[in-house]
Structure 1
Amino acid sequence: MSIPTRARRRFTAQQKAEVVELCLQKGLSCNVVAGRLGLPSSSLACWVRQARIDRGDFGRPEQGQLTSDERAELARLRKESRELRREKDFFRLAATHFAKEQLPPRGFV
Structure 2
Amino acid sequence: MGSQYSKRYSEEFKRDAIALARSSSKTITEVARDLGVSPESLRGWVKRDRIDRGEGGPGELTSAEREELTRLRRQNAEQQKTIEILKKLRPSSPRTATGERGLSVHRCGEGLTGVFIAVRWLTWGFVLVHVWA
Shorter-chain TM-score range = 0.7 to 0.9
SS at structure 2 position matched to 1:45 = helix
Instruction: Please tell me the residue identity of whatever aligns with 2:65.
Output: E
Superposed structure 1 runs of 4+ greater than 3 Å apart: 3-6
Query: Could you tell me the TM-score, scaled by structure 1's length?
Result: 0.74
**Higher helix proportion, which one?**
1
Q: Percent identity?
A: 29
Letter in 2 for 1:76: R
User: Aligned residue for 2:36?
Assistant: 38
Higher strand share: 2
Aligned to 1:69: 64
CA RMSD of aligned residues (A): 2.3
Match of 1:20 among 15, 18, 21: 18
In 2, Cα distance between the equivalents of 1:10 and 1:4?
14
Aligned length: 95
Q: Cα distance, 1:11 vs. partner?
A: 1.4
- Structure 2 unaligned segments of length 5 or more: list them: 96-133
Cα contact 1:30–1:45 (8 A) shared by 2:
yes
Give the structure 2 partner of residue 48 of structure 1.
46
Amino acid at match of 2:31: V
2:73 aligns with 78
Cα deviation, 1:12-48, whole Å, max 9, x if unaligned, reads 2222111111111224321011111121111110110
Q: Structure 1: 5+ residue runs without aligned partners? A: 103-109
Deviations 1:77-96 (A, max 9, x none): 11111111111111111113
